[in-house]
Structure formats: C-alpha cells, structure tokens
Chain A
C-alpha cells in the first residue's frame, strides 16, 4: 500500500494533476486486491495502555503497554470498543465488534477487589434533557483529589458506552464523597455523601443521591471462542439479475426435449478431469426427471484442463455423461468463456474468489442469472430455489436471502456495470463488447416505453461499449457505440463530442463540426464542449470565433492547462501579443518548465518591445529559479 498508493498521491490538489491517474489506479488496484481476499494489516492484536500517572510537569507519563498479558490482545480486525460494567461488580468490562469471527466479543474485567474501588453514577435530567447528556461531573474524594467525567452519547468508533458514569477511586475506599454536577442547561448542583463500591442514581434537583439496587450476577464461565471457519462453498441469490452471456461451444450431448414449461436453466460447470464433478453429475442424473418436471433445463459446461483440446475434453465428458447416465445437454467451452463467466460471477460478490469446479448458475426463464452456487449443489436446494425464479426482485429480497426482515430503502437498480468493469479490467474485451451489443440490441428493438432500463443507464452502457471498442483500437466500434447512444438520446452530449472527436482526429473536419456545434449549443457551460468547438474553428481558420470560444472555456475551467495552451496558440495566431505575453506568463507560473508553454513563449518574445522582452526573460527565469529551489 505505501509503496504503490500513498507514495503516488499528489502533493496537493489544484494546479497540475499529473500522476493523479497513477495514484488512482494504484488505489483501485489495492481495493481490488482486498476484494480478491488478500489481507492488509491483518492479524493485528488489540492494544491496552495503562496510565501510570503524571510526569513532574503535570503531563501524563509514558503509558505501560499491557496489551498481551491482559487478555485484551485478541486479533479479530476489531472495529468498535465499548465500555460497560456488565456484571455490576465495580469494574469496566469490554464489548468488541469485529470484522472477522467472532464479530462480537465480551471480555470480562476480573480486577481484584482489594486495593482499588469505584463508584458509578446514572444521571437523570429534569429541566435539561432526560438523559443529562452533556452533563459534566466532578467527584471530590475524601483526600481532596478530584475526578472529572462527562455524560456522553456516542464515543469512539461507531459505539456507545454505558450510560453509567464510572469513577475509579484508587485506594480511597472509606469516607464520603461529593459529586458536583454541571447540568447541560447550565445549572450546577452538589450531591453529598456518596460512598464507594455503590451505584448511585442522581436526579436533577433532588438534592441527594439515591442508591441503585444492584443486580447481582453469577460469573459467566470463560472459554475459548469457537467460530465457523471460512468456507468458499456458497449459495448466492441475486436480487439484481443480469442477462447471462450467450454460451457457445461444440455440443457434446443434445438437450433432451421436454414437455414442461421452461422455468429456468442450470448451467453446471464441470470437467471430465474433476473427480468431484463426476460425483455431482451422478447426483443430478438421479434427479434428472424431477428437474425436467420442474421445468429446469440442465446444461453441462465442460471446462478443458490446461493443455487439453476442446475435442479431447468433449470426448472425455461424453464418456463421463454416459457412464453416470446424465441426460443433460452439454457443450465444451473455451478458456476465454470459462474465464469470462468466472469474472461475471465475481462481479456480483464483494469476495471475489476463483470459481471452483463443480459450480453452477441457475438462470430464470428469461435467461437472467438468479443463483450462484459455488461448489456442489443438491437437487433439494435447486427445487427450493425454483419458485424464486419467477419472483419480482422485491420478493426475492424479502424471501430468498439468508435473512428475512424489513428493508427500509428502495431496491437498488439491477445493473451489469460491475461485470463490464471487471471484464474490461481483466481483458475480456471482445467478449464484453459482444455481450453489451446483445444487451443493447434487445433494448433498441423495444419501443421506448417498454424498455426495462432507463435511458441514462442505456447511454452509460454505450459509454462502456466505447471503452471496450477503444481498448481494442476498434474505431468503427467506437462510432457504432456513440451512434447507439444517440438512438436512445439524440442530445447525448458525450456521444456528440465523441463523434466530433472521432472525425476530428481523422481530419474530417466538415463531418466533425456539426457534432461539436450541437454539443456546444446543448451545453454552453461545458468547458470541454466549448474547447472542442474552439479547436475545430481553428482548423476551419475562423480564429476570432475560436478565440472567443476558448476564452469562454477557460473562464469556465480556469485550472485546465490544456485549454489555456490552446487559447495561447490562438492569441499568437491572431498576433495579440500583449495578451499572449500576460497569459503565457500566467501559464508558466502555473506549470514551471511545461514544454508546450516553453515552446510558445519564444514565439511571443520577438514581437514585444525591447523593455517587455527583457522583462519577460527575467520573469521566466525567476519562475524557474523558484521552482528549482522548491
């Protein structure tokens, strides 16, 4: 993390943004590695520091580190620490919330009773808030020593401590004490005659404290905690369903005909070389007729081992299917599909582990992925999950997840963006492009009112299609993707700019200009759109118009060096030497040593008066000197 992420963070924001991308990429990569199951500062033990008293100057001395001999040093990826005298025996016990198992832990304080005592206070406000949150407490001990506490509500990280205020009293067990309470409404009140080893109720205006009846508790037995070990075998019900990618590959065994209405399809990832797969296939074969009656089609996707051809795997799988009498459709898939489908399944999970064999996907009647089963799956589980295939996302969320309860917030939109990002990152470019085109074709062919996805999502998908195309240097694909976006939204700015840029780069300025004009008209406050049109105007040799557009663009986004450099070039072309000088110097100060600016300044220089030339040279050097000193 430090080598790759922190070290690449920019020094400050504003001005140059060079290197920000590398930092962001490293940050994203670190997140991704954590999603894939790696550790970062894991197995760290909790720390306990004992206050040993003050130094001579009244400042606290060096705390003693008693983390590990005290029983506090558990390593659970702890998040919250909360204090409470749980067993009401006069010392503070600790609750911990953790990331790993157990996610909740109770550590009981077994402080010996001899030598140090305590008392506890629960406040009740009458003219202030009832909990007296914000009250300041001062306890004066018989020796005159004073202790200070505040009644708070919400302390530490995501935790709330006990409402009882705890005062450790040291050796001062005898004698009575005075409690001064500064109530949150500004009133101050003294309560006398508190004694040690008791819990006290202190009510605002009551004049004296009352003793709380202690609830005497038997000691809980202490023991090691047994937790469930982490297992990669799982069932995941998808609320946000996404269309399965089309599976292709040579057919090993044909899908038998079925009279039942199709309710779903089980894609079973298996291989002839995988022993557990043979067991799984035999199990499912026994239940074949049950599954068929349920309307569940089974398709075995055979994954060839490395170095094995599809043909060889096909032959071996065919043999296996016959041996276990599995009457399922089967085809062999190539490594790209196996990898892409693995990445696809991970994109639904925040723990992204490789897909084991066997595993299966259960899709609904529209061939949208509905369940992921990592590891072997029983027929009973499949039958249990079949009714969910026809349910609305709301009902799936209510009924088919591990826990039932209330959902307060609306259901998030079903989306495939995560899969797209993952495919892009992992290099499944042609695959992702094809998948996205299938998706977009479906929506394009529907009348706008019947589309299942809002326009803003569709245009976003088109943006991803642009990425997939661009990453493959597929310019035709880029144009296609932008044009698809304009079908959904004729005023989609990014597509207009994108198409303009495409033609601009190809030197087809006449084709480019109408797109830029539409973009600039739609977004008169978008500095990029104005910049693009401005640059196009330069190419059309309409310099004054170009200058005005670029000037407006700079005003909208004064930090963007590139626009300012474009403007500077136009100033030079228009021979606006004084303005060019001023703006050129401003740029030089903003980015000392910038090569583009460095190349432009000499063009301005000869057109200035002698005095201005000298001044400019002097200023340029001064900026460099300062930069070097830094």
Chain B
C-alpha cells in the first residue's frame, strides 16, 4: 500500500519576470532604468482576451465605438454621416421622450420624466433630427459633458446587446443647467468574428432630465478661499496621497487607499465649528480653527494634536460633561481620549488598546449613565500590506476580519472595553468600516448598525445595555461591500430608515451576469456576487421591526464606488437627499483594472 504524503510545502507568490519596454520617464530630467517586468501573468490577464472572457472582449470592442459617437457630440461637432459610416443600418427610437412630466423641487430644480411608456420602436433613420431632439434643452453653442458606462453586455455569435448609462450635462437653452440621466439599450451585429461591430439600433430604456434653473450651480467650490493660506494646505493637503507614498516608507503606515476622515466640532467655544483632519502615518493630523470670516487657521502644533501615527477617524464629544469638546482619536490599534482645556489645547486623558486597524467611530451613551461611549470598527485587512494575508474569505461572506470594540466611558476619564459583556462579541469578525447609532424601536436605548465590507452587516438591538444581532430578522443584512451607513427619516413617517454605501460596479454588472461566470458555481453564490455589484442600499423602516429594500425603486443604487455618504436636506424642502462620495483609486496610470 502506498500513501501519498502532504508534506506541507508553502505555496508562494511567484510571477515569472518578463522584459517590458521601459515606460516614458515620469520623473522630469530622468530616464527609465528598469528592465524587469512586473507581475507578468496577472498583467497579461488585464487584457480580457488573454483571460478568455469573450463578453469582455465584446465590451472592449464596442466601448471605443460608443465613444466615437459621444466625443463629437460633446464638442458639438457631431456629424450624422460619420456615424452612418460605421453603422450603415442604424435606426433609433426617440432619443428624448416627447412627452415629459415636470416636478418642481425647492432650490429651483425641475425634474422631467417620461409620461407613460417610452417608445421602443427604432424606426427613425434621420439621425440628425433625432439628435437635435435629444439635445433640445441644451444651449446649442456650449460644449456638453457626456459620460458613458457600459453596465451590461449580452453577446452570442455575431449579435450583441449592451446596456449603457449615459449622462449629459451642460448649459440650458434658457437659464441654468441641465443634466440628463439616460439608460440606453444598443443592439450590435457583425458579419463574422473577424469583422467590426456595427451599431444597429439605439433604444431608450430610461430617461430623466434635471434642470437647475438658477444661474449658478447649487454648490460652489470655496476650498482655496477657505484653506489655501493654511500650513496644512500648503505642506500636506494639496498633495495627493500618491505623492506621500513615494516620500514616506511603508513601515510608517502610509497607505495607498487614502482612508482619511474628519471631525467637526467647536473646540474653542466661539460658536463656530472647527475641523480636524485625520491622516496616514507620517502625516500630522490637522486641527483647523474656523475664523469669523469663514477661513481656517492651522493650530495643529500648539493644539497637542500634531500626532504622526496613522489615524483614520476622530470624533469630538464632551467626554467629561464639562462643557467643551474633547476628542476621541483612533490610532491603528488604540483609541486616544484627549481632554480639551476649553481653548483648543488637548492633553491625553486616557487610552484603550482595543481593536485592530480601527476605521469608523460612532459614539452614543449606550448604557444611559450620562457619559458618551464609543464603538470602534475594525477592518480585517490592512491596505498597506500585501500578499495573501488577510484576504477576505469568501469574497461575499468574509468571516476572517477583525473584532470591533465597544468602549465604555465610565466617567472621570476611565475607559474600558466592554464588547463581549455587552453582547457585541457575536458575529464580530468581519471587515467593518463604519457604524451608526439610532434608537430604532424607540425604547429609549440606542441600537447599533455596522456596515461591513465583503458580507452581511450587523444590526444590534440594545435591550437595556445588552445587545443582540437581529440583522437577519429585520431584513437589514444587506450582504454586499458595505462602506458606511446612516440613519434618517427618508419618507417622513417618523421612523428612521437606513442608507448603506456599497460599491456599484459596471464591470461587476457585466461580468457576474455572464453564462461563463456561472460555470461550476452554486447559484446562491452567483446571485450574491451579482448583488455585490448593485450599489447603494436604501432600507425603509416599515415600523413593525422589519425593513423594505427600496434601493432599486428609488434609483440610488448608482452611487458608483461609494465610500462616505450623508442623508441631508440640501434644498431645505424637509426631505432628506443623499450625497455620496466615491471613486476607489485614481493612480498615476490611467488604465482601470
């Protein structure tokens, strides 16, 4: 009898070196010396064809054709004949529905949407006329800002269909600005596998037009006026994190992800809220005092907060109830509690070594003892390490993260980690980014929602100081790449609803829906992966302990690769709007992985 033996040989990250052409010099006054290649196999697979993804090859082929259409449209130099040349048989349906209803919102916004069903008949062949109809609300002399995103492809043999998001923004024909949000279906064909794709027809699937009738956009950028004289700006914040990644070595905890936050609070009692910026390792946290003229002054050095350790988040709160704003500062694996002397100078009042890689912080008095407590989220993986350590397993339900911590403020600057005794040790091994407190069931005790990357979120109900995870029964698991969560009464019924930031991915929407993706996979996994590309979530509180997922119906899924968001009423109509910050990594190299 022969036994086969698994004498455990470690598996290594091996990529054979290749010789690549040296890229152009990016350091002025130098030439590129490098002769070695980088990650040969994975790099070669960045090309979809080399990786054997036919649908992505189709996507890569039609994307430039869509842009070929769009670029001259944006410049207002579009010519129907040129389009005919690449798409001789093209027919289009209405490019802007003729019958639109109008809704007027506070702040001068007019929203136009189709009345009834949109015509799907692609019978119009006079492209010039169709495009003129499409752009009717725009000033014909002004350039347009047009972006497209191919979010779905279906391809079989020599026929293909693509779903494309198109947004067009520009000056209105009358006063103000217009933005069109369009979903188009494009039908494609080619003669054979070696010939080019032709656009056969363009059909409108969804259409929305927003007209801002004021002469100026709602938001104006006053960053320079507010900040440009500060040391923080001149030395630190006008540079991308990529700049610092070359100047601070990795052991100082500088990271590519730029996971930096901020806290607002009136630290000197002058009635104006000041700002603390948290930053990567080697870069000081910055305390910026709000002046009466709206500008800021950098007082970092004398504030006692010129801390260089990596910090991702901070909160101002009156931790000792003496009437000033103290500070909770998250470092890598500890929380610092800094006491304010009332004049914006801070001294360490306490610290707790708690969770690993602390990300989001959220504070509330969970045990109603009159002192504000803090929940700290821990992310399982460090963006500044590499290799396979800490890779989320599996992608869509990772349980190999790190433990979050509830830190109880016992008064008198005494802090203790009470996570387990408070019942928060359950399901506490995920990749948590952020948490938010709310007394959802109005029993007088603050409940806690935790947004986790790579899987289900937690919803801990607080029963007189002890927590139970009821995310499943409440229907708020939201199994997706959660980045942040906020509570707010979106529909004005007195019940707090929940928004969660997740990433929307055009690539994910294309790829996870392909038959090729499904080979050898469990159907639940496929559905789950598809869900992971969907985007933001809005959960409406039904008032009976459960929530209704209204994300798709409300159209807020398309918040891109979302990070932070807020639900706030930005046009003072008494309704909460949604503001989403997004984008993952815009590196020095443009091509997107």
Contacts and interface: CB of A to CB of B under 8 A. Distances in A.
Contacts of A76: 583
Contacts of A118: 569, 572
Interface stretch (A60-68, A288-296, A310-318, A483-491): A60-68
Interface string B503-519: 10101101110000100
A11 B521 contact: yes
Nearest to A280: B29
A226 B467 CA distance: 48
B193 interface: no
B179 A69 contact: yes
A108 B295 CA distance: 12
B292 to A, nearest CB: 6
Identify the 9 closest CB pairs spanning chains A and B, nearest first: A158-B261, A99-B258, A78-B581, A42-B586, A354-B34, A157-B564, A9-B395, A501-B7, A356-B30
Given A60-B490, A168-B569, A228-B238, A160 B496 contact: no
A401 interface: yes
A209 interface: no
A109 B17 contact: no
A303 B33 CA distance: 8
B363 A97 contact: no
Contacts of B176: 69
Given A91-B570, A186-B444, A274 B31 contact: yes
Interface string B159-200: 000000001010000001111010000000000000000000
B152 interface: no
B591 A184 contact: no
- Among A160, A161, A235, A237, chain B packs the most CB atoms within 10 A around the CB of A160
Interface in B552-573: 553-556, 558-566, 568-573
A35 B256 contact: yes
Interface string A66-102: 1111111011111111111011001110111111111
B396 interface: yes
Contact of B237 (A25, A104, A162, A374): A104
Given A41-B505, A48-B579, A425-B13, A28 B258 contact: no
B260 A223 contact: no
Interface string A110-122: 1110011110000
Given A27-B391, A403-B308, 10 more contacts: A82-B262, A109-B570, A129-B365, A153-B364, A156-B434, A157-B483, A160-B264, A185-B368, A228-B243, A428-B17
B222 A170 contact: no
Contact of B260 (A103, A236, A237): A103
A219 to B, nearest CB: 8
- Among B264, B483, B517, chain A packs the most CB atoms within 10 A around the CB of B264
A590 to B, nearest CB: 16
Contacts of A168: 106, 569, 571-575
Given A112-B107, A130-B321, A162 B181 contact: no
B370 A185 contact: yes
A535 B554 contact: no
A28 B363 contact: no
B317 interface: yes
A167 interface: yes
A276 interface: yes
B181 A65 contact: yes
Interface in A462-502: 463, 466-467, 470-471, 497, 500-501
A377 to B, nearest CB: 11
A116 B273 contact: no
A158 B313 contact: yes
A131 B318 contact: yes
A97 B283 contact: no
Interface in B350-365: 359-365
Interface in A140-195: 141, 145-150, 152-164, 166-171, 182, 184-186
A111 B372 CA distance: 35
A30 B525 CA distance: 21
Contacts of B32: 354, 356-357
A71 B585 contact: no
B554 A133 contact: no
Nearest to B586: A42
Contact of B242 (A68, A100, A185, A303): A100
B264 A427 contact: no
A356 B172 CA distance: 48
A409 B332 contact: yes
Nearest to B360: A158
B45 A4 contact: yes
B434 A157 contact: yes
A23 B517 CA distance: 14
A34 interface: yes
Contact of A52 (B111, B218, B240): B111
Interface stretch (A243-251, A565-573, A610-618): A565-573
Interface in B279-316: 279, 282-284, 290, 292-295, 300-301, 306-309, 312-316
B564 to A, nearest CB: 3
B586 A100 contact: yes
A528 interface: yes
A374 B581 CA distance: 34
B537 to A, nearest CB: 13
Contacts of B501: 156-157
Nearest to A348: B249
Interface string A525-549: 0001001100100110000000000
Nearest to A66: B210
A374 B33 contact: no
A81 B249 contact: no
Contact of A426 (B36, B111, B260, B271): B36
Contact of B221 (A106, A146, A356): A106
B394 interface: yes
B241 interface: yes
Chain B binding surface SS class:
loop
Contacts of B489: 147-149
Contacts of B359: 158
A28 B31 contact: no
B109 interface: yes
A13 B393 CA distance: 7
A171 B592 CA distance: 46
B307 A405 contact: yes
A547 to B, nearest CB: 12
B365 A407 contact: no
Given A2-B507, A134-B439, A217-B293, A40 B593 contact: yes
A224 B221 contact: yes
20 contacts: A41-B585, A51-B576, A58-B491, A65-B208, A69-B210, A104-B232, A118-B569, A129-B370, A130-B323, A133-B365, A150-B439, A156-B566, A157-B581, A162-B264, A163-B264, A230-B242, A269-B33, A467-B10, A532-B7, A573-B1
B580 interface: yes
A133 B251 contact: no
A157 B362 contact: no
A146 B489 CA distance: 11
Contact of A100 (B258, B295, B439): B258
Interface stretch (A254-262, A338-346, A384-392, A440-448): A338-346
Contact of A108 (B178, B220, B239, B364): B220
A222 B275 CA distance: 20
B3 A128 contact: no
A195 to B, nearest CB: 15
B141 interface: no
Given A65-B555, A157-B433, A356-B25, A39 B589 contact: yes
B578 A48 contact: yes
B588 interface: yes
Interface stretch (B75-83, B118-126, B380-388, B472-480): B380-388
Given A27-B388, A69-B178, A3 B13 contact: no
A536 B113 CA distance: 75
Nearest to B11: A21
Contacts of A573: 1
Contacts of B9: 470, 501
